[in-house]
Amino acid sequence: MRFHKECLHCKKLLVGRTDKKFCDPQCKSGYQYKKSKEQPERFYNIVDNQLKLNRKILKEYNKGGKVTVRSNILTEKGFNPNFFTHYWKNTKEDVYLFIYEYGFLKRNEHGVEKFILVKWQDYMESR
């Protein structure tokens, strides 16, 4: 008795074992990739992707080590201040939130929301 099954990825007729599902490793890989794309994004990936985007945006806007930028400029690029890796508190009790080596502090100046952008410094380790 012969079984006539199709490859789950390319739909070609399979030859060989009765429990075979794919015609070759490329079809198996392609099928797995397609299935993973259909599933909702894992929480880890959502957080990781946002951290990477936040870091990229902060790096792009902080060329001088300390810069002030209107918050809407960063948020329009996709920056989300709710995602950060750690924080640092200065002597004035201001809490800077960091995404790896790039930090920010939310400020409201004359009714305009801004971010003060900084880069991690060695002296921040001791506090």
| Short-list 101, 92, 94, 90, CA closest to 126 | 90
DSSP character string of 47-84:
HHHHHHHHHHHHHHH-SSSEEEEEHHHHHHTT--TT--
The model carries a pTM of 0.69
CB 102 within 8 A of CB 121: no
Each residue's pLDDT tens digit, 74-115 = 999 999 999 999 999 999 999 999 999 999 999 999 999 999
Q: Which residues neighbour 59 within 8 Å (Cβ) at sequence distance 6 or greater?
A: 102
| Short-list 81, 107, 82, 102, CA closest to 92 | 107
Mean per-residue pLDDT over the chain, rounded: 91
pLDDT value for 1: 47
Which residue(s) pair with 19 in the sheet?
none
Q: Residue for token digits 């920056």? A: 79
